[in-house]
Amino acid sequence: MARLAIQVLAISRRHAVPKIQSAWFAQAPEFERWDRGGGNVHRLARVDPSVVVEISGVVHAGATIGESSHVGSGCIVGPDVCIGSSVVLRYNVVLQNCSIGDFCTLHSGVCVGQDGFGFTYDSNNSIVKKPQELRVKIGNSVEIGANSSIDRGSWRDTVIGDNTKLDNLVQIGHNVVIGCDCMICGQVGIAGSCTCCGPHRNRFKGPNRSEKWSYLKHYRARRLCRFSSSARETMAGIGGGFSKTL
């Protein structure tokens, strides 16, 4: 009898979370069950019919997802997030305050668009939080490894250029601008407001789109040429860190 009771308890625990989720979404009629995958999509989200949203994936109001994209189980696509075409989100990816280009892959556990580590002291010498109100812009054909984190900007958008590859456990601080065709290996941390090379491509210009990309000076590009084949390429080794502009 005791053995039977233990089995019943184990089964009830196993099915507790799905039942709670179903009850919650039943009380939130603004979310609809998505036919392709069984995920939950807000009525005000703009999702292409070809998109797959797997079970327990959530797409919030105002989000946009392009054709042939895939949202894995446990993913959260926050309000007003813009995702391009043929983007793959593995399990438990969390996106907020960001836009993502086409043909990108974000592996499990990636977090994009959360507040950066910005604090200051007030007149009473107490620590207070600085506003983090801007976004993250990720270009085309970018791949981001598992459990990496990219913070939203405070005084300029955080930018990841086209065709850049990030390994697992990479931390990108707020206001960082990374150019195109860069490779950043595992456990690298890039401190806030750094600029890591990048060409003058039209996709990501300065705050005033009539200006050239003022974040990268030509002398920096020449210095980078000493150890890369192109001024737009940078490679950061495992466990490295940057605390100022390259």
Largest CA distance in the chain: 78
Q: Are 70 and 52 in contact (CB under 8 A)?
A: yes
- Helices (H), ranges, 67-162: none
- DSSP-derived pairing of the beta strands 127-129 and 119-121: antiparallel
CA distance 144 to 87: 12
CA distance 98 to 41: 18
Q: Calculate the CA dihedral of residues 195, 198, 200, 204 and round it to 10 degrees.
A: -70
CA distance 71 to 34: 11
Q: Which backbone phi and psi does 35 adopt, to 5 degrees?
A: -65, -40
Q: Which tokens hold the place of 232?
A: 């737009």
Query: Which one, of 175, 166, 106, 169, lies nearest residue 137 by Cα?
Result: 175
- Residues annotated as catalytic are 174
Residue 210: how many CB atoms within 10 A of its CB? Answer: 6
